[in-house]
Structure formats: C-alpha cells, structure tokens
C-alpha cells in the first residue's frame, strides 16, 4: 500500500504535508516496507530491491538514500522558450529558472544550481516549519489561550471579592453613622428632658405665685366687706401685711444648637477606602522555548523515575513522514478485536462483542481467558498491573489482580457502566455510564470513592449520549469516543468542556480511542453498523486540531486502539482476531 501523493497545505485546515498510509516498496509486485529511496529514479524501495537496484549496471551509480533523506521530485514545468525541455536549473546570476538549452544559449559562464536540489531542500524546510507549527507554535498558543481563560477567571474572582469588600465596608460605615446618629439623638433627648424639668419648675413657681395672689385678693376683699370698725383687720393690720410679694424672677432657657458636620464625598471615600490600579508592573507572558516545549505529567513520587525516562524518550520523539507496518499477531478465542488494554511486560487484554476477554502476549499466545458481558471499551489495565472491567448487566465494576483474584471495585447502582479508563497520572478510575437516555463520566479514586461527575457543559446541555470508549491525555483531559453524538468529546480535568471533534466532512463514527506520549489523540472511525464504507484512524493534537489520517482502508473496519510502551500503535479489527502493529513515531 503506497503513500498517497504529498499534498500542499490547506490554508483553511492548515494540514501538514504528510503521508496517510504505511509505506511499501514501489517495485512492481513487492509489498515489503519501504526503507530507501533512489533520488535519480524517484523510486521508493525495500532493502532487497535497493540491493538489486545498486547491482544493476544501469543504476548502480544512482544515489540511493534512506527514505527520510530523499530528494523531493521537482514538479514538471516546460520552458517557455524551449517547450520540449523541462526547467531544471536556476541561474544565480540572473535569478531565473532555466532549461539546458537556455544554459547553452545565454548562461554558459553563469553560476548554475540544480533546481531539484533547491526544491527538495525548501520542501523539507516547509515540512519542518509545518511540523514546528503543529508541535510547538499551535500547542504553545493554545496553552497561552488556556492561561488567558484562567486569567479571566482569576480577574473575575478578584473583582467579585473587591465588590463584596466595598459593599461590606459601606454597610459598616452605614452602621457606624447610624450608631453615631443614635448617640447624638440620645444626647438631644437628655437635653430636652433637662430643659423640660427646668420649665416645669418655673411653671410651678408661677402657679404657686398665682395661687398666692388669688388668696391675697380674697383676703383683701374680706377686709373691705367688714362692718365692725373695732375688729376690722384693715384698721388693725400692720403696713407690711398690705404689701404684695414681688413677682418671682426666672431665667429663659436656651435650647441647644445643632452644628452640622462639614464633610465631602472625598471624606466619605477616605473612610470607605478606594480601589486603585496596582503599582506592580505587569509581566510578559512566559513562552516556553521550542527546544524545551513539552507537556509534562505531574507525577506522584512513585512515578518520578519512570516519568523521567518517558520524558527523555519524549524529547527524541516526533511524527514520522510515513506509517510503517511492524508486525501482526492474532488473539485466540475472539471473533473481533473491539478493544485492547495494554498490560505490563508485553502482555495485553483483548475483547470482542460476545464477552470473550483474553489475555495474550505479543506473539499471540493465550495466557488467560474470562467470560464477561461484552461491550466496547469496557476494560483497562491499571498502573499496578491489575485488570479492571465493567459488568454492564449487573452494574458493577470488577478488578482482577495479578494473582487472578476477582474482587468488586464498586457498584454503579442505577447506572450502566459501559467504558472505563485508569489514569496514569494519579490512578483515578474514569467510567462512562448511561441511564434512561442520560449519560455521564464518573471519576473514582483508587479506593472506589466517587469524587467527580461530568455530565453537562456550562450551559446545562448534556455532554454525552453513548460514551463507549474513554481515555485520558497527558494534560489530564478526559477524551471520550461517543458513537451516538458522532464525536470525540474532550473535557479538562475539572470537567469543563474543551472541544468536540466531529470529523473532516464525511460522517464520523468513532470507536476506539487512545493518546500517546506527545499528547496526540488517536481515534478510529468505521462505517455505521460496520457495513460498507471507509474506515480510518484519525490523528489529532491535544487541542482537537486535525493532523492527518494514519490509516485508510475500505476492506478493514478498525475498532480497538492502544499505543504500547514502544510507542507503536496496536489496531484491532472487526470480523477478524488480527491485531496489526504500526510505527508512526520516530
């Protein structure tokens, strides 16, 4: 199966120029892996065909190089002045592209360069730049976008706290004003009571004096009405007895005066406090340099040594320009390979739709078999090497330890568990579940305690319909293959929806899904109900950007995927127990 012709990058989708199928020898009738390339013939070949090519008298002097060092074939363009000749050189002095006749006529003493060599170098440079964009510039820019989103949240949280503080301070000032006003009113009330007491005393003084005058009038009238001279008090009274006491003197009380306080809005602002711009100079966002750009796991102490080794490997890994078939092996006692779970020491588990779950080595030797209820992505090997799988019928999650003991991990009560994944970041267990038309992903810790439910986006809309395969990326994203939604649904580790990938135009029917050490998302899409149609394996970056199709076959229906420790892709198929291993990283 030959590579499809390299394509010019699509300015809309920004696709990289890269092969879509695994590379085979270009010799007629030979289907071995292509490893070499003849630059003069522009022919790809296996090792055996390379040896024959170099032994032939006609081609023994041809430049045969490793495939990745090949010269790209120059597009054919005829010379305008000499229509029978191809343009294949460039005149450095005139800076024009010329053919051999042009050289003889006009450029004999000029500096000439091979146009094919220049084209190949520039072509390779373009590929390198596209690779850098997808491997560094796009991911780094997406990471900065995520930082900006976090900044949005941080700023909003800080401003909300400031609003709350302002309102609380204002309420405190209001309470203080009310307290001061209450104290002043109480003082005024006491002043009023004192003045009233004084006025009441004065009133009583005059009431007593009026009573005295009235009594004096009655007494004087008695003197005037007496008919007896010898006993008339008027005649016998002393001079002082007829003298009237003076009117009592009293003081006019002076009421208190309210001296209104003098204050301004500025005074109130000083009491309340002010929001000011920070004195700190804002820093430039840190952009990680290209040579150290990589998404790192946050390991536990137990994983640090292993992750350092992976990190060393990761720095040397990159996407290959071709996909190479490494080997094939069969899994005994399964009718199809719906799902693959990678174990330790080259061991893996594979299952079909009939409930057959088989443990095998990489040579296809059966090591263990158990009967389950079947399904799709319903089993996974944990970091400790145990197999954990869902029992959809009984709504239970079971664990098979290394000594083959089956224990119950957890009950899912009313929910049917249909897919499962064990996090290699922290050991959490992620389970896709369905119930009465609803679907969710539940996170458990290693002890089986439920710690998170992911079900809806920030608008309250359901994220899932049929999450039948599930995995986790190196940045903690939860990636779910949802058959009914025809989408790969990705949320971050907090459960917030990041993106949904729905294919490249044609109907997208996702099955097996996995991720690799570089954060790529690999997902296979097969025809609806596994009938006729295209079957493909998509490669996405961790932000949902389509990179390219790894495999494209009409006669094979891809179902199960996993990336093994040697960074090779294991692909299971429908209606056969064959697993094919491909190398797509170098």
The residue that leads in pLDDT, 380 or 300, is 380
How is residue 137 written in tokens?
Answer: 């510039």
Residue 222 binned pLDDT confidence (cut-offs 50, 70, 90) = confident
Indicate whether 35 and 149 sit together in one domain: no
Q: What's the whole-number average pLDDT of the chain? A: 83
Indicate whether 65 and 125 sit together in one domain: no
Neighbouring CB atoms inside 10 A of 93's CB total 10
In the beta sheet, which residues pair with residue 406?
Answer: 400
pLDDT more than 70, % of the chain? 87
Domain of residue 47, CATH code: 3.30.160
Residue 388 to residue 376: CA distance in whole angstroms: 14
Question: What pLDDT score does 454 carry?
Answer: 93
Indicate whether 31 and 125 sit together in one domain: no
The total number of structural domains that make up the chain? 3
How is residue 85 written in tokens?
Answer: 């000749």
Indicate whether 477 and 330 sit together in one domain: yes
Q: Express each pLDDT in 45-65 by its tens digit.
A: 888 999 999 999 989 889 998
Domain of residue 505, CATH code: 2.120.10.30
pLDDT at residue 225 above 60?
A: yes
Top mean pLDDT of 297-311, 524-538, 547-561 is at: 547-561
pLDDT at residue 302 above 70?
A: no
φ/ψ region of 437 (left if φ > 0, alpha if ψ in -120 to 50, else beta) reads left
Indicate whether 577 and 472 sit together in one domain: yes
pLDDT at residue 124 above 90?
A: no
| Full residue range of the structural domain in which residue 20 is found | 1-70
Final residue belonging to a domain, choices 255, 279, 298? 255
pLDDT at residue 429 above 90?
A: yes
Question: What pLDDT score does 477 carry?
Answer: 93
Backbone angles phi, psi at 302, to 5 degrees: -65, -25
DSSP code string of 339-359: EEEE-STTEEEEE-TTSEEEE
Indicate whether 53 and 146 sit together in one domain: no
Residue 550 to residue 557: CA distance in whole angstroms: 14
Indicate whether 390 and 517 sit together in one domain: yes
pLDDT at residue 546 above 50?
A: yes
Indicate whether 27 and 167 sit together in one domain: no
Backbone angles phi, psi at 118, to 5 degrees: -65, -45
Mean pLDDT of 337-365: 88
The answer to whether residue 378 is domain-embedded is yes
The answer to whether residue 18 is domain-embedded is yes
pLDDT at residue 2 above 60?
A: no
Indicate whether 387 and 481 sit together in one domain: yes
Query: Token match 């009573």: residue?
Result: 211
Final residue belonging to a domain, choices 224, 255, 286? 255
pLDDT more than 90, % of the chain? 32
Question: What pLDDT score does 235 carry?
Answer: 62
The answer to whether residue 81 is domain-embedded is no
Indicate whether 224 and 321 sit together in one domain: no
Contact 532, 309 (CB under 8 A): no
Indicate whether 573 and 456 sit together in one domain: yes
The answer to whether residue 207 is domain-embedded is yes
Instruction: List Cβ neighbours of 407 (8 Å cut-off, separation of 6 or more).
Output: 398, 399, 401
Contact 477, 496 (CB under 8 A): no
- CA distances to 164, 461, 543 from 456, rounded to whole Å, are 29, 5, 20
Rounded to 10 degrees, what is the CA torsion of 400, 402, 404, 405?
Answer: -60
pLDDT at residue 306 above 70?
A: no
- CA distances to 224, 266, 329 from 306, rounded to whole Å, are 134, 63, 28
Q: Express each pLDDT in 444-471 by its tens digit.
A: 998 888 999 999 988 889 999 999 999 9
Rounded to 10 degrees, what is the CA torsion of 65, 66, 69, 71?
Answer: 50
Residue 301 to residue 304: CA distance in whole angstroms: 5
Residue 391 binned pLDDT confidence (cut-offs 50, 70, 90) = very high
Residue 514 binned pLDDT confidence (cut-offs 50, 70, 90) = very high
Final residue belonging to a domain, choices 40, 70, 100? 70
Q: Express each pLDDT in 138-170 by its tens digit.
A: 888 888 888 888 889 889 988 999 999 999 999
* Exposure class string for 217-247: b at 16+ Cβ within 10 A, else e: eeeeeeeeeeeeeeeeeeeeeeeeeeeeeee
Residue 395 binned pLDDT confidence (cut-offs 50, 70, 90) = very high
pLDDT at residue 338 above 50?
A: yes
Angle (deg, nearest 10), helices 138-224 and 265-272: 120
Residue from 206, 192, 40 nearest 114 by CA: 40
Residue 169 to residue 124: CA distance in whole angstroms: 65
pLDDT at residue 295 above 70?
A: no
The residue that leads in pLDDT, 127 or 360, is 360
Residue from 553, 509, 500, 552 nearest 529 by CA: 509
Contact 494, 454 (CB under 8 A): no
User: pTM of the predicted model, to two decimals?
Assistant: 0.55
3-state secondary structure 531-547: CCCCEEEEEECCCCCEE
Residue 529 binned pLDDT confidence (cut-offs 50, 70, 90) = low
Question: What pLDDT score does 6 carry?
Answer: 33
Q: Report CA 33 to chain centroid distance, whole Å.
A: 39
Q: Express each pLDDT in 464-477 by its tens digit.
A: 999 999 999 998 99
pLDDT at residue 15 above 50?
A: no
The residue that leads in pLDDT, 228 or 278, is 278
The answer to whether residue 370 is domain-embedded is yes
How is residue 175 written in tokens?
Answer: 């309470």
Residue 500 binned pLDDT confidence (cut-offs 50, 70, 90) = very high
The answer to whether residue 273 is domain-embedded is no
pLDDT at residue 211 above 50?
A: yes
Query: Token match 């060599």: residue?
Result: 117
Q: What angle do CA 136, 584, 557 make, to 5 degrees?
A: 120
Indicate whether 412 and 478 sit together in one domain: yes
Largest CA distance in the chain: 186
Question: What pLDDT score does 311 carry?
Answer: 52
Backbone angles phi, psi at 413, to 5 degrees: 60, -110
The answer to whether residue 436 is domain-embedded is yes
The answer to whether residue 102 is domain-embedded is no
Mean pLDDT of 13-26: 51
């Amino acid at each position: 199966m030959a590579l499809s012709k390299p394509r010019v990058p699509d300015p809309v989708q920004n696709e990289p120029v890269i092969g879509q199928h695994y590379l085979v020898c270009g010799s007629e009738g030979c289907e071995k892996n292509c490893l070499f390339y003849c630059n003069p013939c522009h022919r790809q070949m296996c090792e055996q065909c390379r040896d024959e090519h170099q032994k032939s008298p006609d081609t023994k002097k041809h430049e045969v190089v490793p495939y990745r060092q090949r010269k790209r074939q120059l597009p054919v363009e005829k010379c305008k002045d000499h229509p029978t000749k191809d343009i294949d050189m460039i005149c450095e002095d005139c800076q024009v592209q010329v053919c051999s006749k042009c050289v003889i006529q006009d450029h004999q003493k000029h500096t000439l360069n091979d146009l094919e060599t220049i084209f190949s170098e520039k072509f390779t440079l373009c590929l390198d730049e596209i690779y850098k964009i997808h491997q560094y510039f796009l991911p780094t820019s997406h990471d900065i976008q995520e930082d900006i989103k976090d900044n949005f949240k941080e700023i909003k949280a800080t401003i909300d706290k400031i609003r709350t503080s302002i309102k609380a301070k204002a309420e405190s000032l209001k309470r203080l004003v009310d307290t001061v006003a209450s104290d002043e009113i109480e003082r005024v009330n006491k002043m009023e009571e004192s003045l009233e007491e004084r006025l009441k005393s004065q009133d009583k003084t005059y009431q007593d004096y009026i009573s005295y005058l009235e009594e004096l009038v009655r007494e004087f009238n008695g003197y005037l009405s007496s008919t007896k001279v010898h006993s008339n008090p008027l005649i016998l009274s002393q001079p002082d007895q007829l003298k009237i006491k003076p009117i009592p003197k009293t003081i006019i009380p002076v009421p208190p005066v309210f001296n209104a306080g003098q204050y301004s809005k500025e005074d109130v602002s000083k009491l309340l406090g002010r929001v000011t711009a920070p004195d700190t100079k804002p820093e430039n966002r840190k952009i990680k340099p290209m040579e150290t750009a990589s998404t790192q796991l946050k390991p536990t102490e137990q994983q640090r040594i292993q992750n350092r080794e992976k990190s060393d490997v990761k720095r040397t890994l990159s996407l290959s320009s071709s996909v190479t078939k490494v080997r094939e092996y069969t899994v005994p006692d399964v009718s199809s390979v719906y799902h693959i779970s990678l174990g330790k020491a080259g061991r893996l588990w594979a299952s079909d739709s009939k409930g057959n779950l088989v443990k095998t080595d990489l040579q296809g030797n059966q090591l263990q078999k158990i009967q389950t209820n079947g399904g799709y992505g319903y089993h996974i090997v944990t970091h400790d090497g145990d197999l954990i799988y869902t029992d959809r019928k009984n709504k239970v999650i079971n664990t098979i330890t290394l000594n083959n003991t089956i224990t119950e991990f957890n009950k899912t009560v009313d929910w049917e568990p249909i897919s499962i994944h064990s996090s290699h970041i922290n050991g959490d267990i992620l389970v896709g579940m369905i119930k009465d038309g609803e679907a969710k992903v539940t996170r458990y810790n290693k002890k089986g305690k439920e710690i998170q439910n992911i079900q809806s986006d920030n608008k309250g809309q359901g994220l899932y319909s049929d999450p039948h395969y599930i995995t986790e990326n190196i940045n903690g994203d939860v990636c779910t293959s949802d058959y009914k939604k025809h989408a790969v649904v990705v949320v971050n580790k907090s459960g917030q929806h990041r993106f949904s990938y729905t294919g490249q135009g044609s109907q997208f029917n996702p099955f097996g899904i996995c991720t690799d050490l570089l954060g790529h998302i690999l997902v296979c899409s097969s025809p609806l109900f596994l009938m006729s149609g295209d079957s493909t394996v998509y490669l996405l970056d961790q932000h949902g950007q389509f990179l390219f199709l790894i495999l494209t076959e009409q006669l094979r229906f891809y179902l199960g995927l996993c990336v093994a420790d040697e960074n090779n892709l294991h692909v299971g198929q429908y209606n056969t127990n064959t697993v094919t291993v491909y190398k797509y990283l170098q």
